Amino acid sequence: MKTVWIVDDDEEMGRAVSLMLKLLECETKYFLHPRFAAQALLAGGRPDMMILDINMPEVSGLDMLEFLRRRRDWKNLPVIMLSSEAADVMIDRAMELGADGYVKKPVTIDELEKAMSQAFYRHIL
């Protein structure tokens, strides 16, 4: 069973994504703030994938993605960005920083499953 960490300051969205992931037979852990996810990583936690909201106060999902990609232990961790931000410039920036996928809110279970499959596939190669 894959473990997926969700980082989103919108608790309702976090619960919805967590439920979708459980339906996709994933174990989940939800964080309201990137700082809490970073602390869990630094304490030795290791998910199989992370889903990051882009627009969060103080520390954005892009900031968290950059943090992950700069560290050897987590630079190959599959990461999907989740956002209501649909501008191409934002999607391009996320991909430049090393995101493995990008899904727009509101996300469907099929979109999430497809993005996850593609992200895991990228890290197998």
Give me the CATH number covering residue 46: 3.40.50.2300
Cα–Cα distance, 13 to 37 (Å, whole number): 17
Name the residue with tokens 């300051």: 9
- pLDDT for position 72: 92
Domain count, the chain: 1
Tell me: pLDDT of 125 over 70: no
**DSSP E strand boundaries for the chain:** 2-7, 26-31, 49-53, 79-83, 101-104
Q: Which domain holds residue 95?
A: 2-124
- pLDDT per residue over 41-52, tens digit each? 999 999 999 999
In angstroms, the first-to-last Cα distance of the chain is: 20
Residue, of 22 and 85, whose pLDDT is higher: 22
The pTM assigned to this predicted structure is: 0.95
pLDDT band at 76 (very low <50, low <70, confident <90, very high): very high
